[in-house]
C-alpha cells in the first residue's frame, strides 16, 4: 500500500504542473495510481495546451455540450437540443483495414483477425499521436460500462481531444467519475486514447490515410487517431467491447454483440430476449418494436447468476443507423428524433436547420449541407458516381431513457433473466424467417457460429459480399474464435435453465423473382411466436434445420399483431426448406473454420454434419430439393 501511495504522489506531482488547480483537484480525488499514470503518459505523448477533467457534474456536462458547438465539431439544428456532426468523405464507418490487434511475440490470434506485431504497432500509432493535441484541450472522461455497483460493472477512462466524442459518451454510457473516486487503488479499468489528428476548417480529420485504431489487449489500452467516426473514436463502443470479450473469457461470462428487449405475452407476461445481428441487419429495429420494451440495442454482458443466465446492457444510449427510420415503421424512435430530446445527428443532409436521411418517408430537399459539404441533386464524387443526399450510414446518438419504451430494468444491478437468444443475419437464399434450435449446442453452432451475412454500408469496403460473421461478434473478437465457441457451449451447459436459441432471417428472397418474402414489419410476428415458444404455448414443426411455426399459429399472430391477413401461399414460400442452398451454406461454414480457425472445437463439425445428414435424408425421402413446410411433421406427433 505504501508503494501505491508513493506511486500516486509521483504521478500526481508530475501532473500538477500541467493542470490548473480545479482540474488537478478533480483528478487527485481518484486514488488509483494507474489512472494518473495513463493521463500523464497521454499528456506527454499528445502535448495538449489544456486538460479538462470531467467529474460528471451538470456544469461539466453542459460545458462539454457548449464546447462541441463552439469548436464547430457540432452545429445546432432548429429543434432545441438537436445538433449535427459531420465525419468527412473518408470516415463513414468502422474501418476494418485500419483496426488491428497488437499481438506480442509468442502470442497468436486467429487468422481471420486483423493484427500487427505489438512493438511495431505501438511505435507506429504513438508516432501518429505524438503532439497530435498541440493547441487543443485534452478531455479526460470516466465511464461505467454496465449498471453501477453491479457484478456487471466495468470502469473505463478515455482521453480525447474531441468535444463531440466526449458529448457522445454522456449519452451512451453511465457516468463513472464517482465510481472511480470510490474504487480501490488497485482497481482495474479500460483505457482509451483518441485524437482527431489534423483538422480542416470544417473540423474534419484530414489525414484519413493515416487512420489507425489499434487495440493493445496486453495492457487493456485502445489507441485511435486521425478519425472522428464514433465507431472508431468513441472508445467504449465496439473498441472496448473487444477488451470486455477478453475479460469475459478469463472470468467465465459472455460479452456479446446483442440487443436486449422485453417481449409482452399473454396476461401481462414479459419475456426477455437477447439478439445478435450484424450492423444494418435489424438489431435496433427489432429491439424497438412497438408495444415491447428496449433494454439495449448493441452490447450485452451475460452472466451465470445462481445457474440462470442474466443480462445487462453495457451502455445506456443508442448510436443507431438512421436509414429507413420513418414515422410508420418506427413511431417511438421517430418521435424522439423529431422532438426536443437531446440528439446528435451525424452525416445527414441539413436544410434550413432540419436533418434529413434516406428512407425517412418524405421528399428530401434538392440541396443542403451533408458530409461532402454543400450538396445538390446531381453532385458526383471523384469517380463520377452520384452522391446521395445523406450517407447510408448516417447516425443518431440518444439516451435510452429518452424513449417511451425504455425498459424500467435498464439499471438493475442484477440485470434481467434471459429466456431466449436470437441470431440473425442477411441470408437471401437459405434459412427460413424464424426457427428454433433443437438444443443449446445446435443453436450456438448452427445459428450462432454459422451466422452468415452480407456486408453492408456500416463497414468500409464492398457491400453485398457474403461472409461468415460468427455470432455477429467476429469484427470485435479478441480471443481465438474457436475458444469463443467453446465459451458459449460451456456457458450454457452450466445453466440449470438454458435460454432457448432461435435463428431469424429478415432478408430471405424469392428464388425466382429475387423479391423479399417479408415486409420489415413481419419481424414483430416472429418475435411474438418466439415468446409463445419459450413458454410452450404453441407447438412447432420439425425440419432438418430446426423447429418452425405452424401456419395456424402465424395466421392468428399476423391478425393480432399487424391486423394483416396471412396467406397460406406466403407461409409456404417463406418456410420451404431449400436443401441445396442449406447444404451450400454448410460447405461455406466448414471451409471457413477449417481454413481460418485452427482451434475450432470438433463439436462444430459434428453438429454441421448432423444438419447435412438431416437435409440429405429429407431430400431423398420427399424426392425434392425445395420441401414445403407441410411435408414435415408437428413435434408433438413425434413424441
Residues annotated catalytic, as ranges: 281
Place of cell 467453446: 486
Give the Cα separation of 302 and 408 in Å (integer).
18
Find out whether 400 and 328 touch, Cβ atoms under 8 Å. no
- The 3-state DSSP class for residue 196 equals coil
Q: Is 513 exposed, middle or buried (0-12, 13-18, 19+ CB in 10 A)?
A: exposed
Positive or negative CA dihedral for 234, 235, 239, 245? negative
Question: How long is the chain?
Answer: 639
Q: How far is CA 243 from CA 217, 222, 236, 496, in A?
A: 6, 9, 10, 28
Please check whether residue 111 is in contact with residue 388, taking contact to mean a CB–CB distance below 8 angstroms.
no
Residue spans of beta strands (DSSP E) within 314-379: 317-321, 343-346, 349-351, 354-356, 367-370, 373-376
Instruction: Please give the grid coordinates belonging to residue 560.
Output: 393480432
Measured CA to CA, the distance from residue 603 to residue 444 in angstroms comes to: 11
Pairing state between β 308-313 and 541-543? unpaired
DSSP at 75: E
Between CA 464 and CA 199 the distance in angstroms is: 32
Backbone angles phi and psi of 312, in degrees to 5 = -135, 150
- β-pair partners for 577: 627
The candidate with the shortest Cα–Cα distance to 554, out of 637, 432, 445, 472, is 432
Question: CA 311 → CA 57, 98, 263, 318, 447, distances in Å?
Answer: 29, 31, 15, 17, 20
CA 197/CA 90 separation, integer angstroms: 14
CB-CB contact of 191 with 142 (8 Å): no
The secondary element (H helix, E strand) that includes residue 76 is: strand 75-76
Dihedral pair phi/psi, residue 276, rounded to 5°: -105, 120
Alpha-helical runs (H) found in 360-448:
440-442
What is the H or E stretch that residue 577 is in? strand 577-578
Sign of the dihedral through C-alpha 450, 454, 459, 461 = positive
Cα separations in angstroms, 253 against 80, 215, 268, 446, 603: 42, 21, 31, 21, 20
Q: What is the spatial distance between Cα 508 and Cα 517, in angstroms, rounded to a whole number?
A: 6
Q: How far apart are CA 284 and CA 296, in angstroms?
A: 9
The three three-digit cell numbers of residue 249, written as one number: 473469457
CB contact set of 459 (below 8 Å; sequence gap of 6+):
93, 94, 96, 279, 475
Q: Are 64 and 167 in contact (CB under 8 A)?
A: yes
Amino acid at each position: 500500500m505504501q508503494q501505491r501511495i508513493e506511486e500516486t504522489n509521483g504521478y500526481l506531482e508530475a501532473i500538477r504542473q500541467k493542470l490548473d488547480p480545479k482540474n488537478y483537484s478533480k483528478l487527485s480525488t481518484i486514488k488509483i495510481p494507474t489512472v494518473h499514470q495513463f493521463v500523464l503518459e497521454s499528456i506527454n505523448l499528445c502535448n495538449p495546451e489544456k486538460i479538462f477533467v470531467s467529474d460528471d457534474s451538470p456544469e461539466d456536462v453542459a460545458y462539454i455540450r457548449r464546447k462541441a458547438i463552439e469548436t464547430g465539431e457540432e452545429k445546432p439544428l432548429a429543434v432545441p437540443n438537436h445538433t449535427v456532426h459531420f465525419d468527412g468523405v473518408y470516415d463513414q464507418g468502422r474501418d476494418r483495414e485500419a483496426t488491428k490487434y497488437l499481438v506480442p511475440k509468442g502470442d497468436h490470434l486467429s487468422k481471420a483477425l486483423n493484427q500487427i506485431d505489438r512493438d511495431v504497432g505501438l511505435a507506429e500509432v504513438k508516432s501518429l499521436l505524438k503532439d497530435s493535441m498541440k493547441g487543443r484541450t485534452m478531455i479526460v472522461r470516466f465511464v461505467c460500462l454496465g449498471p453501477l455497483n453491479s457484478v456487471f460493472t466495468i470502469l473505463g477512462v478515455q482521453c480525447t481531444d474531441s468535444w463531440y466524442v466526449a458529448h457522445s459518451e454522456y449519452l451512451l454510457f453511465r457516468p463513472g467519475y464517482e465510481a472511480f473516486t470510490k474504487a480501490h487503488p488497485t482497481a482495474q479499468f479500460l483505457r482509451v486514447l483518441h485524437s482527431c489528428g489534423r483538422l480542416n476548417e470544417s473540423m474534419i480529420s484530414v489525414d484519413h490515410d493515416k487512420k489507425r485504431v489499434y487495440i493493445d489487449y496486453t495492457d487493456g489500452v485502445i489507441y485511435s487517431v486521425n478519425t472522428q467516426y464514433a465507431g472508431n473514436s468513441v472508445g467504449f463502443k465496439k473498441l472496448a467491447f473487444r477488451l470486455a470479450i477478453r475479460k469475459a473469457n478469463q472470468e467465465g461470462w459472455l460479452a456479446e454483440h446483442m440487443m436486449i428487449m422485453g417481449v409482452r405475452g399473454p396476461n401481462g407476461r414479459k419475456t426477455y430476449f437477447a439478439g445478435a445481428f450484424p450492423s444494418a441487419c435489424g438489431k435496433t429495429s427489432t429491439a424497438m418494436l412497438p408495444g415491447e420494451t428496449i433494454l439495449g440495442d448493441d452490447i450485452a454482458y451475460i452472466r451465470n447468476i445462481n445457474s440462470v443466465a442474466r443480462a445487462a446492457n453495457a451502455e445506456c444510449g443508442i448510436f443507431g443507423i438512421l436509414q429507413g427510420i420513418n414515422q410508420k415503421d418506427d413511431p417511438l424512435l421517430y418521435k424522439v428524433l423529431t422532438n426536443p430530446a437531446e440528439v446528435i445527428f451525424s452525416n445527414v443532409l441539413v436544410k434550413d436547420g432540419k436533418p434529413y436521411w434516406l428512407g425517412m418517408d418524405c421528399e428530401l430537399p434538392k440541396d443542403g449541407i451533408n458530409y461532402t459539404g454543400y450538396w445538390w441533386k446531381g453532385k458526383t464524387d471523384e469517380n463520377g458516381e452520384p452522391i446521395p443526399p445523406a450517407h447510408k450510414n448516417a447516425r443518431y446518438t440518444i439516451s435510452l431513457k429518452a424513449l417511451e419504451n425504455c425498459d424500467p430494468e435498464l439499471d438493475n444491478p442484477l440485470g434481467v433473466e434471459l429466456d431466449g437468444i436470437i441470431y440473425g443475419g442477411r441470408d437471401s437464399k437459405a434459412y427460413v424467417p424464424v426457427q428454433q434450435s433443437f438444443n443449446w449446442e445446435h443453436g450456438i453452432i448452427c445459428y450462432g457460429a454459422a451466422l452468415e451475412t452480407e456486408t453492408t454500408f456500416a463497414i468500409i469496403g464492398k457491400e453485398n459480399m457474403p461472409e461468415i460473421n460468427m455470432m455477429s461478434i467476429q469484427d470485435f473478437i479478441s480471443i481465438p474464435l474457436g475458444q469463443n465457441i467453446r465459451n458459449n457451449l460451456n456457458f450454457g451447459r452450466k445453466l440449470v435453465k438454458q435460454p432457448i436459441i432461435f435463428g431469424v432471417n429478415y432478408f430471405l428472397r424469392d428464388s425466382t423473382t429475387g423479391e423479399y418474402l417479408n415486409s420489415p414489419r413481419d419481424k414483430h410476428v416472429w418475435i411474438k411466436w418466439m415468446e409463445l415458444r419459450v413458454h410452450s404455448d404453441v407447438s412447432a414443426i420439425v425440419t432438418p434445420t430446426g423447429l418452425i411455426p405452424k401456419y395456424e399459429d402465424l395466421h392468428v399472430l399476423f391478425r393480432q399483431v399487424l391486423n394483416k391477413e396471412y396467406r397460406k401461399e406466403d407461409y409456404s414460400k417463406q418456410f420451404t426448406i431449400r436443401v441445396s442452398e442449406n447444404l451450400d451454406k454448410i460447405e461455406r461454414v466448414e471451409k471457413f473454420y477449417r481454413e481460418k480457425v485452427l482451434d475450432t472445437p470438433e463439436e462444430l463439425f459434428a453438429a454441421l454434419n448432423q444438419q447435412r445428414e438431416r437435409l440429405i435424408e429429407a431430400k431423398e425421402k420427399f424426392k425434392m430439393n425445395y420441401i414445403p413446410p407441410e411435408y414435415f411433421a408437428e413435434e408433438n406427433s413425434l413424441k
